[in-house]
Amino acid sequence: MKNKIPVADLNQRGRASIDFLGHMFHGTQKIREAASEYVVSEFGEGKDLPDDLDQRVKQVSEYASQLPATRVRRTVGEWHAQNHGLIAIDAFEELGEDFAKDLHQYDEGTSRLTHDDDYENPYYWQGVEFHRTSGGWDGHDYMGFIHGEIVHKKMVDVIYPGGIFKQRCEVAKLAPQDQYESILEMGTSTGHFTLGLALAYPDAKITGVDLSTRALEHALRVGNANNYSWDLYRRPAETTGFDDNSFDLVTSYILLHEMPVAAIKEIFAEAYRVTKPGGDMLMSDVVRYAEQNKLQVALADEDAIYGGEPYWRESASADLVALAQEVGFTNVRATNLGTGPYPHVVIGTKPS
């Protein structure tokens, strides 16, 4: 399916800068591999490393710091993290005001966006630059386009080719029933997973909530450009304000690693409340620490610290199956796409 939102046909300078970021990643692949091989040859699966995660990360990090390959990897990674958002903003602004104005033709259409200013943003979201996004999810008037169309499609997809949209479509198809009438997506952001859901369940009425105004504005334009009738709300997933038993499927894609476990519990309880009896939940997120060996956990934890993911450790350590059972979902199980542990997908049903 071709998304009909205008393509970011970048000008020469912006395109070259974005390409450079992708090439930089691929060009330093061997150095990252070497850094990783040295660490694995020193620690194996990490069985002898401390159980305490802070101590473990410190020990691995101190050893890795002595390796020239690690120093290059960290310097390149840090430069990339600090600059990718700024470079994407520059590339967008280089397209000019007319391009930005063009996007507004999709403000009106079959989808709608409700700004609910009564809902306060949770403390863990406020002021955090998740993924080292410059200024946070609302850090630019067109951050939705910048993140969804430039960073995601022209950087992330180049670095991990062919994956990001396909993965979302495949995850959407893992929900237990063939069709759903009403779906609530939590953490809609710019609508990447929403599109996957719309393709998998063409007859479903899709409702989305997110905290980011800029991301939702872009999701609205994506919905309108593609003639979807999405109902989008700027509301927290913890308190969506919808009636009990409203949706056949409640779902999310990589929302949960951006919050503490207490918030995940509230979101699962809210998902249970608004799911119809006999309806399903499907929540997908990052790989659980329980699925990784001790060294992998230490490396993932260190990457999360540098990668602007303050809740990754807490969230990835949580047993999402147990949390879903605690709020009442039954037949809860964890799965993935069969191509590796990412994404970790938890599926359950609200008893009839």
Instruction: Give residues in contact with ligand SAM (CB under 6 A).
Output: 122, 125, 137, 168, 186-187, 189, 192-193, 209-212, 215, 236-238, 253-255, 258-259
Which of residues 187 and 279 has its CB atom nearest to ligand SAM in the complex? 187
Rounded least distance, CB 204 to ligand SAM, Å:
16
Query: Whole-angstrom Cα distance, residue 328 to residue 350?
Result: 7
Rounded least distance, CB 186 to ligand SAM, Å:
6
- Signed CA dihedral, 45, 50, 56, 59: sign only: negative
Pair of tokens at residue 9: 């046909």
Which of residues 286 and 298 has its CB atom nearest to ligand SAM in the complex? 286
State which residue has the least CB distance to ligand SAM: 187
CA 51 vs CA 171, 284, 293: distances in Å: 33, 27, 11
Rounded least distance, CB 131 to ligand SAM, Å:
7
Query: Whole-angstrom Cα distance, residue 76 to residue 79?
Result: 5
Which of residues 10 and 172 has its CB atom nearest to ligand SAM in the complex? 172
Rounded least distance, CB 275 to ligand SAM, Å:
17
Rounded least distance, CB 175 to ligand SAM, Å:
15
Q: Are 56 and 294 in contact (CB under 8 A)?
A: yes
Gyration radius from the chain CA atoms:
21
Which of residues 168 and 221 has its CB atom nearest to ligand SAM in the complex? 168
Which of residues 59 and 213 has its CB atom nearest to ligand SAM in the complex? 213
Rounded least distance, CB 44 to ligand SAM, Å:
33
Rounded least distance, CB 334 to ligand SAM, Å:
19
Q: Which amino acid is at 157?
A: D
Which of residues 137 and 329 has its CB atom nearest to ligand SAM in the complex? 137
Rounded least distance, CB 205 to ligand SAM, Å:
18
Rounded least distance, CB 263 to ligand SAM, Å:
6
Task: Return the DSSP state at 104.
Answer: G
Q: In b/e form, how buried is each residue of 29-63, taking b as 16+ CB within 10 angstroms?
A: eebbebbbebbeeebeebeebeeebeebbebbbee
Which strands make up the sheet holding 275-285, listed edge to edge? 112-115, 231-234, 205-210, 182-186, 247-253, 275-285, 344-349, 330-335
Instruction: Please spell the DSSP secondary structure of 242-284, one letter per residue.
Output: PPTT-EEEEEEES-GGGS-HHHHHHHHHHHHHHEEEEEEEEEE
Which of residues 259 and 324 has its CB atom nearest to ligand SAM in the complex? 259
Which of residues 49 and 215 has its CB atom nearest to ligand SAM in the complex? 215
CA 217 vs CA 123, 124, 142, 190, 239: distances in Å: 22, 22, 9, 8, 20
Query: Whole-angstrom Cα distance, residue 319 to residue 281?
Result: 16
Query: Whole-angstrom Cα distance, residue 58 to residue 247?
Result: 45
Which of residues 49 and 172 has its CB atom nearest to ligand SAM in the complex? 172
